[in-house]
Amino acid sequence: GVIVAEVLRRAMREPFHVGHIELHITISIGLVAEAQAQDRDPETVLGDADIAMYCAKDNGRDRIAQFSPEMHDGVRHRLVIENALRDALLHEEFQLALQPIVSLHDGSVIAHEGLIRWNRPDHGVVMPDDFIPIAEASGLINDIGAWVLREGARHVRQIGVAGALVSVNVSARQLRDPEMARLALEIVTTEGVSPTALMLEITETELVEPTVAVDENLVALRAAGFPFAIDDFGLGYSNLAALRRLDMEVIKVDRTFVAGLGRKSEDEALVATIIAMAHALGVRVTAEGVESAEQVIALRRLGCDSAQGHYFGRPALRGPLTGNSAANT
Ligand code: C2E
Ligand code: CA
Ligand code: CA
């Protein structure tokens, strides 16, 4: 079974040609071992295969997963969170914590990144890593992402400092929604802020194999004036061609490379290279996860433009925003 599945998976990875367009398709396969299928009715076996397929998708697609009974627990957990997230959208249980991004030239705050928090009733604050992947897998990320854009736009209006940006995270799934760019523009328009003040953070991996919808969204968002930042830079494999095409404002160096600055020469060499490359393309660099004065000194020496991290300030919630949110939704 696994061998057949592997042959299928590989066969589907070959590009398909439709007219002038080259399509790249990957498949996720769920398997049930024969021993586990015996004496069970076909519906149950298909249901288990379905669960295994979702696990394959959750683990990054383009892979094979064999069903195991523990997968039931994972699926149950996912369904519970999914339902709770639907309620969270209805009952306004989300908040954006803001973390300052500081200029390394003069120490001024040049932007804030909005990081989502979920005040889940009876559970306390849930961090994004515990629910964003589920929101992405279920498609709820589109509605959550729209909320984030709107809330980001409101913060732009409230912070109100000339030139200070608010930066929000945009997930891959959102960019694949053909309506995304139109929606984002509608949001800044109704909130009365300029798109140029709302930076969109996109991770590098999403740009490696962009779909037509992603490309169209990026072009439309860019034309509308939204600035882009490449998030977690260095984690994906950097496709320079894709980076150039994106026309981004900022590259955010992932904190795993910032961690060793001042102590590990390899990290310094790597960050120096990223900065040189970014500057050659006319792009500014923000270092993420800066926690010590030592790192700040190294970053200044390397010519890094700005920095973000606990050393400068943790993500923090602000008081209630002015303006009636119910009136705008
Ligand atoms: P990210 O975009 O790389 O965000 C930075 C993360 O690093 C945040 O974690 C932040 O609290 C943390 N951080 C900031 N400074 C430091 C530091 O000095 N040291 C260390 N160790 N960590 C630091 P958080 O808020 O838990 O967010 C985790 C990830 O969740 C984000 O990573 C982002 O990928 C995702 N995320 C957060 N908010 C949103 C959102 O509104 N939409 C989407 N799609 N994803 C989001
Ligand atoms: Ca980010
Ligand atoms: Ca990041």
Structure confidence at residue 326 (pLDDT) = 41
Structure confidence at residue 324 (pLDDT) = 43
Name which residue leads in pLDDT, 187 or 21.
187
Beta strands in 12-149 (DSSP E): 16-18, 21-23, 29-31, 64-66, 94-103, 109-120, 124-126
128 lines ligand 1 (CB under 6 A): yes
List pLDDT tens digits, range 53-106: 888 887 777 889 888 888 888 888 889 999 999 999 999 999 999 999 999 999
pTM above 0.85, yes or no: no
Contacts of 124 (CB under 8 A, 6+ apart): none
Q: Amino acid letter at 146?
A: A
Mean pLDDT of 192-200: 96
Structure confidence at residue 151 (pLDDT) = 96
Name which residue leads in pLDDT, 70 or 166.
166
Cα angle 169, 94, 141 (rounded to 5 degrees) comes to: 50
Q: Which atom of ligand 1 is nearest to the CA of 129?
A: 30
The highest-confidence range among 1-10, 58-67, 147-156, by mean pLDDT, is 147-156
Please say if the pLDDT value at position 321 is more than 60: no
CA distance 79 to 81: 5
Structure confidence at residue 61 (pLDDT) = 77
**Whether the Cβ atoms of residue 100 and residue 312 lie closer than 8 Å to each other:** yes
Cα angle 220, 252, 143 (rounded to 5 degrees) comes to: 50
The pair of structure tokens assigned to 181 is 């760019």
291 lines ligand 1 (CB under 6 A): yes
Q: Which of 95, 127, 169 to mutate to test the pocket of ligand 1 (most atoms within 8 A of CB)?
A: 169
Please say if the pLDDT value at position 39 is more than 70: yes
Q: Which of 102, 112, 115 to mutate to test the pocket of ligand 1 (most atoms within 8 A of CB)?
A: 115
Q: Amino acid letter at 53?
A: M
Structure confidence at residue 205 (pLDDT) = 72
Name which residue leads in pLDDT, 277 or 58.
277
Average pLDDT score over the chain: 89
Residue nearest (by alpha carbon) to ligand 1 atom 11 = 315
